[in-house]
């Protein structure tokens, strides 16, 4: 059996070949149209028509706000989640938003999502890996199935979904936006949220690494790391309403900006990072947290 290093050695020429091919194609395009603007070239590569965006966890919170932001900016949006009811709430009043009720951790989930996007819209420009579960509890108290569910949703599903979407994103010079958290940035510890935090720290690593891996395909990978955003996420992961409200009120005073964030304030940054005009951002993990993580 070949060792890892020989597999890597064998893989390198392929990557280099793709890079060289891409460079040659770009040079040809530049020579053919030296007077055409970069914006026009990008538009030509992407093809005409509105962009198509897939958002996991699009039925609530940041995912819902992001779906509506992209729709307001003229995109066609497919929102994905397990609850058909909340997804329908996102699409209500937004005719360019369609829904798909699917569990992204199901073996067929990633294929169902990408197939639906391509069948409905014919293209995929932006994948927002937003769905997540964050169940509080110290490791000693976490049941293995709760631990597994968080890793499956926050980490394994984005891996398999991104993998499945990669060819379609390559066609459009598309973008992957991972939704991380400012809570696990840098050298911070996060007692009581170790598994959730670890899944997001790993997602940041994937963001940087995929940015380099996919660059020869013209696909960008970026992440937004929100601070505390009042979406009610904790109540959907087992925290009582009163405890959640007390947490939000308590932490607002610790945020240098003096308040917690709104889902729309994260949605705006997700849309900006995915915008073709923002295309020099790649491998970036952007904290949007009212300076909570840098104080």
Ligand X SMILES: NC(=O)c1ccc[n+]([C@@H]2O[C@H](COP(=O)([O-])OP(=O)(O)OC[C@H]3O[C@@H](n4cnc5c(N)ncnc54)[C@H](OP(=O)(O)O)[C@@H]3O)[C@@H](O)[C@H]2O)c1
Active site positions, annotated:
196
Does residue 262 touch ligand X according to CB under 6 A? no
Stretch that binds ligand X, among 33-41, 111-119, 127-135, 163-171 (CB under 6 A): 127-135
Q: Which residues pair with 80 in a beta bridge?
A: 56, 100
- In the complex, the smallest distance separating the C-beta of residue 10 from ligand X, rounded to whole angstroms, is 35
Does residue 270 touch ligand X according to CB under 6 A? no
Task: By CB under 6 A, name the one of 41, 42, 73, 103 that touches ligand X.
Answer: 103
Does residue 150 touch ligand X according to CB under 6 A? no
- In the complex, the smallest distance separating the C-beta of residue 74 from ligand X, rounded to whole angstroms, is 23
Query: Which residue has its beta carbon closest to ligand X?
Result: 61
Does residue 164 touch ligand X according to CB under 6 A? no
Give the integer Cα–Cα distance in Å for 223 and 210. Answer: 11
Please say which residue, 171 or 204, places its beta carbon nearer to ligand X: 204
Does residue 61 touch ligand X according to CB under 6 A? yes
Give the integer Cα–Cα distance in Å for 3 and 82. Answer: 40
Please report, as residue ranges, which positions from 172 to 211 form the binding site for ligand X (by CB under 6 A).
179, 181
Does residue 133 touch ligand X according to CB under 6 A? yes
Token readout for 226 is 């929100």
Stretch that binds ligand X, among 9-17, 213-221, 228-236, 250-258 (CB under 6 A): 228-236
Could you give the C-alpha distances from 100 to 21, 131, 197, 253, in angstroms and in order?
Answer: 37, 13, 28, 39
Q: Are 42 and 26 in contact (CB under 8 A)?
A: no
Does residue 216 touch ligand X according to CB under 6 A? no
Q: Are 282 and 273 in contact (CB under 8 A)?
A: no
Q: Are 193 and 134 in contact (CB under 8 A)?
A: yes
Does residue 245 touch ligand X according to CB under 6 A? no
Please say which residue, 71 or 229, places its beta carbon nearer to ligand X: 229
Does residue 223 touch ligand X according to CB under 6 A? no
Stretch that binds ligand X, among 37-45, 61-69, 211-219, 241-249 (CB under 6 A): 61-69
Stretch that binds ligand X, among 16-24, 27-35, 100-108, 272-280 (CB under 6 A): 100-108
Q: Are 165 and 127 in contact (CB under 8 A)?
A: yes
Task: By CB under 6 A, name the one of 132, 155, 169, 267 that touches ligand X.
Answer: 132
Please say which residue, 47 or 238, places its beta carbon nearer to ligand X: 238
Please report, as residue ranges, which positions from 73 to 92 form the binding site for ligand X (by CB under 6 A).
80-83, 86
Does residue 110 touch ligand X according to CB under 6 A? no
Does residue 131 touch ligand X according to CB under 6 A? yes
Does residue 236 touch ligand X according to CB under 6 A? yes
Would you tell me which residues interact with ligand X (CB under 6 A)? 56-57, 59-63, 80-83, 86, 103-105, 130-134, 153, 179, 181, 226, 228-229, 231, 233, 236
């Amino acid at each position: 059996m070949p060792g890892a290093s020989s597999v890597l050695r064998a893989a390198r020429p392929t990557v280099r070949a793709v890079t060289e091919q891409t460079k040659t194609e770009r040079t040809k395009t530049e020579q053919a149209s030296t007077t055409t603007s970069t914006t026009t070239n990008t538009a030509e590569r992407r093809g005409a028509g509105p962009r198509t965006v897939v958002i996991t966890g699009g039925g609530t919170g940041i995912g819902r706000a992001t779906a509506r932001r992209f729709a307001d900016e003229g995109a066609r949006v497919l929102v994905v989640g397990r609850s058909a009811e909340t997804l329908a709430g996102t699409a209500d009043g937004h005719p360019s938003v369609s829904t798909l009720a699917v569990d992204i951790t199901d073996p067929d989930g990633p294929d169902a999502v990408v197939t639906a996007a391509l069948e409905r819209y014919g293209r995929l420009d932006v994948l927002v890996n937003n769905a997540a579960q964050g169940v509080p509890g110290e490791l000693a108290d976490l049941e293995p199935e709760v631990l597994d569910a968080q890793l499956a949703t926050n980490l394994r599903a984005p891996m398999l979904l991104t993998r499945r979407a990669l060819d379609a994103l390559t066609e459009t010079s598309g973008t992957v936006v991972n939704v991380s958290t400012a809570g696990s940035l840098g050298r911070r510890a996060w007692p009581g949220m170790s598994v959730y935090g670890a899944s997001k720290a790993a997602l940041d690593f994937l963001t940087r690494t995929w940015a380099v891996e996919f660059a020869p395909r013209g696909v960008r990978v970026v992440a937004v790391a929100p601070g505390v955003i009042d979406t009610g996420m904790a109540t959907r992961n087992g925290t009582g309403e009163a405890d959640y409200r007390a947490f939000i009120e308590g932490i607002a005073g610790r945020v240098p900006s003096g308040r917690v964030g709104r889902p729309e304030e994260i949605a705006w940054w997700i849309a900006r990072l995915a915008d073709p005009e923002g295309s020099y951002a790649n491998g970036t993990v952007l904290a949007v947290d009212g300076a909570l993580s840098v104080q």
